[in-house]
């Protein structure tokens, strides 16, 4: 099995605690609301929301995919981080075993946050995985981040406490 690792950072003017609450703790509700073309629904099918939880994500009408399953590997509310894996579904190409994600929401000295993302593609045997495929996925993630960020800016009371 091969491993391809991609790291990415997205700065934000929003506090890291607020971003973490929106994306991680309430993402099941918020993402279908702010990005309905991307997400139709997100539901827990196994677990209590902590490590080991499996979520079924149904994509919206505007997506090329139907559904996928994520498994939470680790959730650290104190340090504002989550690690999860795409374990099943349309977005998982046949040449990959899984895709693992690690998100960390960190404070910036001048205010706001920096969202650090590490994506690890676990290929089957010696399968090749093109850089363009990685880039496309990360561009979609960045667009989703900016969509949620704009929603939070427009609604400053949400996830504020």
What does the radius of gyration of the chain's CA atoms come to, in whole angstroms? Answer: 16
List the chain pLDDT tens, one digit each, 161 residues.
688 888 989 999 999 999 999 999 999 999 999 999 999 999 999 999 999 999 999 999 878 899 999 999 999 999 999 999 999 998 888 888 889 999 999 999 999 999 999 999 888 877 777 777 777 777 888 899 999 999 999 999 999 87
pLDDT attached to residue 97? 87
What pLDDT, in 10s, does the model give residues 61-77? Answer: 878 899 999 999 999 99
- What span, in angstroms and rounded, lies between the C-alpha atoms of 112 and 152? 13
Using one digit for the tens of pLDDT, what is the confidence trace for 21-48? 999 999 999 999 999 999 999 999 999 9
Residue-level pLDDT at 44: 97
Here the tokens at position 129 are: 């995985």
pLDDT of residue 139: 83
């Amino acid at each position: 099995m091969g491993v391809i690792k991609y790291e990415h950072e997205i700065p934000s003017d929003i506090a890291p605690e607020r971003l973490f609450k929106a994306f991680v703790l309430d993402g099941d509700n918020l993402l279908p609301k702010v990005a309905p073309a991307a997400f139709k629904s997100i539901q827990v099918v196994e677990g209590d929301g902590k490590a080991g939880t499996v979520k079924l994500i149904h994509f919206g009408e505007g997506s090329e995919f139907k559904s996928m399953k994520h498994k939470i590997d680790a959730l650290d509310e104190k340090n504002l981080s989550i690690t999860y894996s795409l374990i099943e579904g349309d977005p998982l190409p046949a040449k990959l075993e899984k895709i693992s994600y690690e998100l960390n929401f960190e404070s910036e000295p001048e205010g706001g946050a920096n969202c650090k993302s590490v994506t690890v593609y676990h290929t089957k045997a010696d399968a090749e995985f093109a850089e363009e495929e990685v880039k496309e996925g990360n561009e979609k993630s960045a667009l989703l981040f900016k969509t949620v960020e704009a929603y939070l800016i427009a609604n400053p009371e949400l996830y504020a406490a």
